[in-house]
Structure 1
Amino acid sequence: MAEDAPAAQGAKALALRLLPLIGGQLCLHAAMTGLRMAAPLLALHEGHSAAAVGGLLALFAVAPIVLALPAGRMADRHGYHRPLRWAVALAFGGALLAVLATLLPVGWHYAVLCAAAMLCGGGANFGLIAIQRTAGRLVSDPTGLKRVFSWLGLAPALSNVVGPVIAGVVIDAAGFGAAFAVLALLPLASLLWSRRVPREVPAAAPAGAPRSHRASWELLTAPPMRRLLLVNWLLSSSWDVHSFVVPVLGHERGLSASAIGLILGAFALAVAGVRLVIPLLAHRLREGAVLAGAMLLTAAVFAVYPLAHAALAMGACAVVLGLALGTVQPMIMSTLHQITPQARHGEAIALRSMTINLSSALMPLGFGMAGAAFGAAGVFWLMGAMVGAGAWPARRLAATG
């Protein structure tokens, strides 16, 4: 217990240093999540098909795939503030385009909203890479890294609530144009938070240091990096499959929309809860062991989930799954910072971002085809088998922690 008290004090001090980064990410990400809720809603109100709405949602992940490596290299060269300004400009521009869409003839709305989705999605991810790189520089030890990325992981969890709630309230009160205008103000607030982040002196590039796309991909020649991205992809896909299949499974079980929403809400609360606890226990945790345990627990939950018919039982599965997957990002980011050169952390984070966004753009199509062939339960069982098999490469990451 005497050892835990200093750990708690250290976690509190680190959280205060992280506050400007958390606030900046919260504002950027909330603008994107608000637009991601409001833009498809406007498209549906105007009579666009579900397929068109799905395409609009997919575009939020397209620009991050293209912009990730430039964002990572810019962060490595210039630190935090320059890429953050680019991120704010992209997100702000996307929200303004959404405002413009409401002022144009209806026939133009969908095309302009698509452009807005790409800009806002790209801006949020551009900023995320700079924020994660800067956060990783606040500490140098594995315990500190786990604490840093546990606290930082609260920002997207909160923004998934803040953005849609703001958008929904303003839409009901004043319409879509006003909602998009309010969302446009959120990225500007990130600039205010950035004033509390110390400026980093750019490091001089080593003579002959490569800066090409090929050089970035050469990070993948390291086996630990390949294993890390595989584990990250499997666990990220587990998150996506839960969001995709639970509404389908709940509909098959005859659950109400509110019950399904509560199940997904229980999952989100469990994720946030475990990330609050990790900083207090970080000195006792090992990345590889936690990731392997999370994968085995996820596989077990996916095996049981389709057998749960009542909302309460599904909610219990969601909580256990949230506790497992909530541990993933801090462990992944801590490991990534340990296995890559410090001068290339931005590029490494960018590669991770690309795999996640590519998965988010493509995996729903795979889930849909698997669901048509095997049913919602079959998707859970198939994904569970894949995640369970991934526990072995995750365990091997222990050597890097």
Structure 2
Amino acid sequence: MSRELILLIAGQSLTHACMAGMRLAAPLQALRQGYSEVAVGVLIALFALTQVFLALPSGRYADRHGLKRPVRYAVIAAAAGAGLAAIWPIFPVLCVSALLTGGATGSSVIALQRHAGRAAQTPTQLKQVFSWLAIGPAFSNFFGPFIAGLLIDGAGFRAAFLAMALLPIATWLAMRRATELPPVIQPPGERRPRAWDLLRDTTFRRVLLVNWFLSSCWDVHTFVVPVLGHERGFSASVIGTLLGAFAIAAGLIRVVLPMVAAFLREWALIFGAMIATGVLLGIYPLLQTPLAMGLCSVLLGVALGCVQPMVMSMLHQITPEHRHGEAVGLRMMVIQASSVTMPLLFGAAGAAVGVAGVFWAVGVWVLGGSRVAWLLRDDRKS
């Protein structure tokens, strides 16, 4: 692993850890101040909401200005968001903090992913780079909440918010040492780019679609497993272990992928992940013991954890170089919009057909969608 890639992983992890820690601390603070679960749900949604609207403009900005300028502005926004919560930890300020830290994290990730893709020289390197880079969020989803939780118990919420404000600053210290790549010149005579131009490409639409299918499966596991565990009388620690096993498996498979990247075909891995995910979602509600459910969570983590690096590799291969940032931003916009809306649909569906019905419906849905991944096989040949 090169020094440059280590810097990119560190930069992405630290900014993402800020948001992950805030996503734990801000709702807890709101609950302790007496706000309802509905208000807390809105607060949590705000972390993703900003990314929906900023993803595409952030991608275009990264295409024009490269790595360091977008990351610098993202660092300022994230540090300001967490810092405001440390100074005035009241609910309206916490909402502003959620918007700032969420949007900043999304913008910095887009710039970092675009830079990493441009630095790779071959399809194999693309798969390796994005496999290593995908380890960052898996680590930060543990590190940020862990540090925030320790500080909340030991020193209070203000200390936790202040610590989260320092993490983006550490990101900038890492990014200052990164090497800026030469700018990409837009071909002369080309009109101002529009997102619709990218969506006209059949392969691009199929890649986004399979990513949406599998991202929704990630959301259903995160949202429905706690409900299923609660129905069966599992303790909070057992439910947390089930979710933790899923996250650890998703992270570990990304450690393995770079070592075997030369032997992998993106479409085949994505197709296999969709088939495996559909089957596992069908089995999951039939399992009764924590051990069996934990094993199923691990297998789901392996299946879903290997998808993002393959999707990012394909996006960079099928998109013009001067629009890589826009393509990454469009992907993030779709994923974050799904993260905002799908839990609402899962909740409504769960009330109508039960938790098991949600698992089975999504399993059938993703199995049907696997045909889109199979069609990517023909796209890669053409």
TM-score (norm 1): 0.93
What is the total number of aligned residue pairs between the two structures?
380
C-alpha RMSD of matched pairs (Å): 1.1
The structure 2 residue matched to 1:113, chosen from 89, 94, 104, is: 94
Query: How far apart are the structure 1 equivalents of 2:264 and 2:199?
Result: 26
Distance apart, 1:66 and its partner CA: 1.2
Equivalent position of 2:69 in the other structure: 82
Matched, 1:53 2:32: no
Residues 101 and 210 (structure 1), Cα distance of their counterparts in 2 relative to 1, 3 Å cut: farther
How far apart are the structure 2 equivalents of 1:234 and 1:271?
17
Q: Indicate conservation of the 8 Å contact 2:7/2:175, yes or no.
A: yes
Task: Provide the residue aligned with 1:8 in structure 2.
Answer: none
Check whether the contact 1:219–1:225 (CA below 8 A) recurs between aligned residues: yes
Which residue identity is paired with 1:32?
A: M
Whether the 8 Å contact between 2:238 and 2:290 is mirrored in structure 1 is yes
**Aligned-residue identity in percent:** 54
Paired AA for residue 77 in structure 2: L
**Structure 1: any 5+ residue segments left out of the alignment?**
1-12, 103-108
* 3-state SS in 2 of match to 1:207: coil
Deviation, 1:211, is 3.5
Q: Which residue of 1 aligns with 2:281?
A: 302
CA contact (8 A) 1:286 1:398 kept: no
Q: Residue 69 of structure 1: which of 42, 52, 56 is its match?
A: 56
Matches within 5 A, 1:182-331: 182-211=163-192, 215-331=194-310
Secondary structure at 1:137 match in 2: helix
Distance 2:189 2:99 in 1: 35
Structure 1 residue 226: Cα displacement:
0.9
Q: Once the two structures are superposed, what CA deviation does each residue of 1:223-271 show, in whole Å capped at 9, x if it has no partner?
A: 1111111101110000000000100111111111111111111111111
Give the corresponding residue for 1:7.
none
Answer whether contact 1:335 1:400 (CA < 8 A) is retained: no
In structure 2, how many angstroms separate the alpha carbons of the residues matched to 1:101 and 1:207?
A: 50
Which shows bigger deviation, 281-290 or 391-400?
Answer: 391-400
- Find the partner of 1:126 among 107, 117, 127: 107
Shift of 1:400: 4.5
CA gap 1:232/1:251 in 2 versus in 1, 3 angstroms: same
Amino acid at match of 2:241: L
Q: Which residue of 1 aligns with 2:323?
A: 344
1:161 aligned onto 2:148: no
**SS of equivalent residue, structure 2 residue 119:** coil
The answer for the alignment partner of 2:151 in structure 1 is: 170
Paired AA for residue 179 in structure 1: A
- Distance, in Å, in 1 between the alignment partners of 2:284 and 2:184 is 50
CA separation in 2, counterparts of 1:203 and 1:79?
9
Residue 390 of structure 1 aligns to a residue in which SS? helix
The alignment's TM-score, normalised by the length of structure 2, stands at 0.97
- Dislocated runs of 4+, deviation >6 Å: none
State the partner residue of 1:92: 79
The answer on whether the counterparts of 2:274 and 2:366 sit within 8 Å (CA) in structure 1 is yes
Residue 69 of structure 1: how far off its partner (Å): 1.4
2:160 equivalent in structure 1? 179
Per the alignment, in what secondary structure is the counterpart of residue 35 of structure 2? coil
